[in-house]
């Protein structure tokens, strides 16, 4: 694990929370992105070298909707940057953690991500993230 990459915060209404966090941090979100496969709409703020991700559910039964129902708004996950996500997944499994994604998936902000079940990490949902390699252009893929 290299460093904390970002904190993920679950919110009910992304627009309202963007305004709130803009007031709190004194800076506007630098990006908004929907990850349809995860049922979330996200926004990202920089605070000095640190990053904060807000997440709103776009699906009634999505993971963020379920979290809000159970716990309400608040810190949802801590994301750690890793050099090689496959190596980290194997290492953590070997250490007895339950890794929810054997295969890393495409997350927001051009990252490959995998999650560690909070029940094996003191109630903290841990996200591993690795900068995704650049997508080959359609021409290169042929």
Least Å distance, CB 79 to Zn ion, is 4
Quick one: 38 or 140, whose CB is closer to Zn ion? 38
- Residue 8 in the binding site for Zn ion (CB under 5 A): yes
- Residue 79 in the binding site for Zn ion (CB under 5 A): yes
Least Å distance, CB 140 to Zn ion, is 29
Least Å distance, CB 108 to Zn ion, is 7
Quick one: 9 or 138, whose CB is closer to Zn ion? 9
- Residue 82 in the binding site for Zn ion (CB under 5 A): no
Match 């379920």 to its residue by tokens.
Answer: 66
Cα–Cα distance, 64 to 57 (Å, whole number): 5
Quick one: 22 or 33, whose CB is closer to Zn ion? 33
Query: Dihedral through CA 81, CA 105, CA 58, CA 60, nearest 10?
Result: -110
Sites for Zn ion among residues 30-59 (CB under 5 A): 53
Query: For the window 119-138, what string marks contact with Zn ion as x by the rule CB under 5 A?
Result: --------x-----------
Tell me the longest C-alpha to C-alpha distance in the chain: 48
- Give, in degrees to the nearest 5, the angle at Cα 52 between 97 and 31: 120
Task: Give me the half-sphere count of Cα atoms (radius 13 Å) on the Cβ side of residue 71.
Answer: 14
CB atoms within 10 A of CB 137: 8
Which residue ranges make up the site for Zn ion (CB under 5 A)?
8, 53, 79, 127
């Amino acid at each position: 694990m290299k460093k904390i990459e970002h904190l993920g915060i679950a919110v009910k209404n992304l627009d309202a929370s963007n305004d709130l966090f803009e007031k709190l941090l004194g800076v506007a979100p630098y990006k908004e992105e929907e990850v349809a496969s995860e049922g979330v709409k996200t926004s990202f703020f920089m605070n000095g070298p640190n990053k904060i991700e807000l997440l709103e559910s776009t699906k009634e039964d999505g993971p963020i909707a379920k979290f809000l129902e159970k716990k309400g708004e608040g810190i949802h996950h801590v994301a750690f940057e890793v050099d090689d996500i496959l190596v980290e997944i194997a290492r953590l499994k070997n250490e007895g953690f339950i890794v929810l994604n054997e295969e890393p998936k495409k997350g927001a902000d051009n990252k490959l991500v995998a999650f560690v079940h909070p029940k094996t990490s003191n109630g903290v949902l841990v996200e591993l993230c690795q900068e995704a390699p650049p997508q080959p252009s359609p021409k290169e893929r042929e």
